[in-house]
Amino acid sequence: MGNYILKVINLTKIYKTRRENEIKAVNNVSFNIKNGEIVGLLGPNGAGKTTIIKMICRLINSTKGNILYENDIKQKKRLNMAKNITCVLEGNRNVYWRLTVRENLEFLSIIKGYNPKKLKERIDYYIDFFNLRDKEHVIAGKLSQGMKQKLSIAASMVPPTKIVLLDEPTLGLDVKASYDMRKILKKIAEEENRTILITTHDMKVVQNVCNRIIIINQGQIIADDKINNLLHLFELKNYHFSIEGFITDEQRQLLNDIPHLEIKENDKNTEISVHIDKMSIFYRIVRVLENGGSIVKSIENSEIDFEKAYIEILGGIV
């Protein structure tokens, strides 16, 4: 079975419409997560990410498939699994607005089956960790959106659960709050041996926090690998040529036959950007420029970030 804390096996969720049509929100999805791993679950809107999170949390039932906690095939640890998973869901309040910051952390610990008196040190730690000390006796409903989000994540961290599920943890935050949240998540990832599954559209969160990415589209997994491996698929493929003056019509015609190539001209230079999958295409461009007598001022290999890699992976699919 392998040393996995969570196994998702052939998970499927089908919704029936009023017209008796079927919508397959999640289609035969399988993946494993190791203890202490930080995994990003990515995909366009409607891909099935939140549905998967809700099925793992047992908020909704799957149509088919299994979710195993600590390799328990017979599911005898179902209650233990529920106790060892905390979750922050996008679009939900996640905390009680009429309770103070501290009261929320205590009450939500009780709901998870923990004695808040025994978790006092953890509660104090996360109040300080999320810079909520001066707000600990403030009613949650009066907090800013960024503070509410910090409180929600703090509430998911206080109970010593082994798995934390974060659905869009930076959604709706301003630039400063989003930056702070990335720092917080990165610190948690580095300092705590907890398994975290994050759904997000924030590619900076992905690159700063996650070490593995699962990309889902139309209810199916289309990529599952370490982030560095996914980036490696696209390195040494994006080039930018800066040409002195203009290229000839003949050169333009030859270059226009090359896929994923863009030509821009200004008053003094010609700029050529290209994404290539074979180095032979690179040398073909160089020959066209050389044979036409063009003076190449510079050639740059642009590093692709994960946002671009993500778009490339989804290219032709969405």
Phi, psi of 118 (to 5 degrees): -75, -15
Query: CB of 79 within 8 A of CB of 37?
Result: no
Task: Count how many domains the chain has.
Answer: 3
Q: Are residues 62 and 100 in the same domain?
A: no
**What's the CA gap between 109 and 101, in Å, rounded?**
13
Q: What is the mean pLDDT of residues 46-68?
A: 93
pLDDT band at 3; cut points 50, 70, 90: confident
Host domain of residue 282:
238-302
Which of 66-75, 182-191, 283-292 bottoms out in mean pLDDT, i.e. has the lowest? 66-75
Q: Are residues 219 and 266 in the same domain?
A: no
> Considering the domain boundaries, does residue 177 fall inside one?
no
145-157 helix and 175-191 helix, angle to the nearest 10 degrees: 10
pLDDT tens digits along 274-312? 887 777 888 899 999 999 999 999 998 766 667 777 777
pLDDT at 117 over 60: yes
pLDDT at 317 over 50: no
If DSSP codes are grouped into helix, strand and coil, which group holds residue 191? helix
Mean pLDDT over all residues of the chain? 87
Interior/surface letters 129-154, b for 16+ CB within 10 angstroms, e for the rest: bbebeebbeeebeebeebbbbbbbbb
Using DSSP bridges, classify how beta strands 212-217 and 220-226 pair: parallel, antiparallel or unpaired: antiparallel
pLDDT attached to residue 318 = 38
Q: Nearest-CA neighbor of 39 among 165, 171, 198?
A: 198
pLDDT attached to residue 77 = 55
Q: Nearest-CA neighbor of 99 among 59, 130, 135, 139?
A: 139
> Considering the domain boundaries, does residue 180 fall inside one?
no
Q: Are residues 107 and 254 in the same domain?
A: no
**What's the CA gap between 33 and 163, in Å, rounded?**
10
pLDDT attached to residue 102 = 97
Q: Are residues 121 and 139 in the same domain?
A: yes
pLDDT at 189 over 50: yes
Share of the chain above pLDDT 90, in %: 55
Which of 93-97, 173-177, 215-219, 251-255 bottoms out in mean pLDDT, i.e. has the lowest? 173-177
pLDDT band at 84; cut points 50, 70, 90: confident
pLDDT attached to residue 48 = 94
pLDDT tens digits along 192-243? 888 999 998 888 888 888 989 999 999 999 999 998 888 776 655 778 999 9
CATH number for 8 = 3.40.50.300
Predicted TM-score (pTM) of this structure: 0.76
Q: Are residues 80 and 102 in the same domain?
A: no
The enclosing H or E element of 128 equals helix 120-129
If DSSP codes are grouped into helix, strand and coil, which group holds residue 257? coil
pLDDT band at 71; cut points 50, 70, 90: low
> E strands along 130-211, which residues?
163-167, 195-199
Angstrom distances, CA of residue 112 to CA of 16, 79, 158: 32, 11, 10
